[in-house]
Structures are given as C-alpha cells and as structure tokens.
Amino acid sequence: MLGLAWKFIRFDRAKSVGVITAIVISIFLIGQQLSLLFFLMGLMGNLVGNAPIQEDEIWVIERQTDNVNALNVIDQRLVQEIGSLPFIAQAEPVVIASGQATFLDGKTAAVTLVGSVAPSFMMGPIESKIKEGNIEDLMQPYAVSAEFFSAKTWSTTLSLGKAIEINGKSAQIKVITKNAQAFGASLMYTSIENARFLGNVSPTKISIVIARVKDKDQKQEVIQQINTLYPNLKAWDIAKLQSSTVKEILISSNMGMSFGTLVLFAMISGFFIIGLTLYSSALDRIKDYGTLKAIGAKKGYVNKLIIAQAFLYAIIGYVIAIFLLYGFKFGVANSGLAIDITIPFALFLLFVTLFISIGGSLFAVRKISKLEPASVF
C-alpha cells in the first residue's frame, strides 16, 4: 500500500511539493509559536523556577495578589510569628525591591533585587543557572548577580567584579546567571541585607515568608491553618503559586489569546490548503483511481491509498519542520531565547501533522468514494 502510494506521490511532483510545503509551513509556525509561548510562560514563573524548591516549603505572601511578580510588602514580625507555629520547622524572610542600575559606561537599566537569607539563599538562584561565580559570593557586602543575556539588552558588558551603582549606591557583580530572568524583569540576586540597603527597603518590611513544615504530608492542612490564622496573608503551595502567576499574566495581557489565535489559524489554513491540494491531485488522477476500481479494487482499498499518501506527506513534512524548528532553536539561543523541544511536544506536533494531513485528505476520499468506474472510460 505505501509503495503504491509513494508511486502516486512521485507521479505528480508539483502538487506533492505543494502539499509538503504547506505541511512544513503550518507545523513550523505552530511549533515556533507554541515554543515561544512556553518560553514566555517559563519566564512568568521564573521567580519560582530559579529557587531551590523543597517539598516541605510553602510561601506566604500578601492576600491581595495571586502573581508572585507583583507582591505587596508585609510586616517583618510575621516571620517570627509564622516560625513559632507548632507545625512550622523554619521560616525565613525574602525581600524583593526595584532599583535602577547605573554602569560605568553611563548605561542605566531597571532591575529587580531579590534578597534572601544567607547562606541558604532559599530564593536562589539555583546552581544550574549560575554561569560564573559562586552563590556564596553574594554574602559579601554590596554583592549582586547579573544576568548574562541582559548585557545585550543593556548595551553594556558584564564581568565578575564589575562595579555598578544601584539606586545611587555602590555595588559589585559577583555572580553571573544564565537563563534566570523573569517576565519583564531583570533579576539581581543578593543577600537580604544587601537587598534592603540597595533597594531602600525598610527593615520592618519584607515581601515573602518562606516556611518549611515539619511534616510535608500535612502541607495542605498547614496552608489552610495559616490562611485561617492570618486573614491578610495567603499561604501557597509553590507549584500552585507558579501556575497562578502564569495564568494571571496570560489573562491580563491577552497573550494566551494572541498565541492561541495564531496557532489555530495555522492549523486551519494548513488543513484546507492540504485538503484542497490533495483534492485537486485526486481529480488529476481520477482515471487512475477509476481504473483501479474497474479492475476490482474495492472502495475501501482506494480510500486507504489516498490516506496512505496523506500519511507519507505528513511524515516527510514533519521531519523537515522538526529540522527547521531545531535550526530556529539553535539560531535564537545566543539571544537568550531558551527554546525547549521536548519529546511530548514533538509527539504533539506529530499528532497535529497527521491530523491536518489525513484530515485534509478526506476531501479527496469523499470525491473518489463516489466515483463510478465506468465514468472514466
């Protein structure tokens, strides 16, 4: 069956090239838009993703926000109060503050300082995202991290030991991170003391309380108890806070709708372009299909032959599109776009390819199934 289908494909090369081109363009656009969306969604939750999360951790923030990137300040005394609860083993404060960095070459940039207690640094950055330096170096006075890919955005150079100013105060880059940025923010990690000083944060205010429960199996019960005890606070399971942040930004920015519309139209256009091209190809070879029926081929066999052609088109187009997506991935890697083509994502694209190709072939199947053999003679 596949051998005969391949002969039909080779017979009409012009239309075959058209079908394969339509598949490649559709799948590449779908893969490109979805991979960019997944990358941006990763950035949205990167304040969580950059932290060395433990299973027994919960984060406590001000109740009015569901977005970890838009936190309101809370009272420092809450750290001691929450830490003294019988079901909490440890509690540490986190300070997140905005600032303006000024470099020696006169360039300026808006930054977000993320300060946590040393040496645990429960807000990160995790070791896998440190390109140069050691996280212990952030314990030094006025030491901060800087993101490798921000150098291009800031039009400056970054190096360990480079002197900068943050909010008019002297600081020094001691760690360079890579792929540790958040959505719309240039993160600079440091100790909580440095974050307070450089970010002009009151010693009585913090942004997050990170607490570790004594029994991780009772984490949901602890969250409910904290929410009951402190009506102005909200305790979060960290994974839920990350997904809530992503959902909040996607809805408020209409980004999900924009990307979703592009993907949907790519699928619809590919479906109909492929379908009409296969339909036209079937009309050009209607005598061949009629002859097959005349010599005894059943309707089911002829239908399977058309679907087999669509299957081969899908496989060829998919392979080319995947190669182009990998080329896109490596092409944008140096600009900081960390595109990840996982096996589940690749399988999803294969399913979409088969759907639009085989689904589009049903136009031709419907036409040929009604063909009477005598009508072609």
81-140 confidence digits (pLDDT tens): 999 999 999 999 999 999 999 988 888 889 999 999 999 999 989 999 999 999 999 999
Assessment of whether the complete model's pTM goes beyond 0.75: yes
Q: Which of the given ranges, 165-174, 297-306, 351-360, has the highest pLDDT on average?
A: 165-174
Residue 241: what residue type? L
What the block records as the tokens of 65 is: 């926000």
Rg from Cα positions in the chain: 29
Is a pLDDT exceeding 60 seen at residue 164?
Answer: yes
- What are the phi and psi torsion angles at 66 (to 5°)? -110, 10
- Quick check: 375 pLDDT over 70? no
Helices (H), the chain: 2-11, 13-44, 46-49, 77-83, 150-154, 192-199, 219-229, 238-253, 255-284, 286-294, 299-332, 343-369
Q: What is the pLDDT of residue 196?
A: 95
The residues, any chain, with a CB within 8 Å of residue 253's CB and separated by 6 or more, are: none
Reply yes or no on whether the pLDDT at 266 is more than 90.
Answer: no
Burial readout 118-148 (b: 16 or more C-beta within 10 A, e: otherwise): beebbbbbbeebbbbbebebbbeebbbbbbb
Lowest mean pLDDT among 39-48, 182-191, 203-212, 286-295: 286-295
Please state which of the ranges 36-40, 102-106, 113-117, 301-305 shows the lowest mean pLDDT. Answer: 301-305
The secondary element (H helix, E strand) that includes residue 236 is strand 233-237
Predicted confidence at residue 172, as pLDDT, reads 95
Query: Which residue would you say has higher pLDDT here, 209 or 13?
Result: 209
**Is it the case that residue 367 has pLDDT exceeding 70?**
no
Mean pLDDT taken over the chain: 85
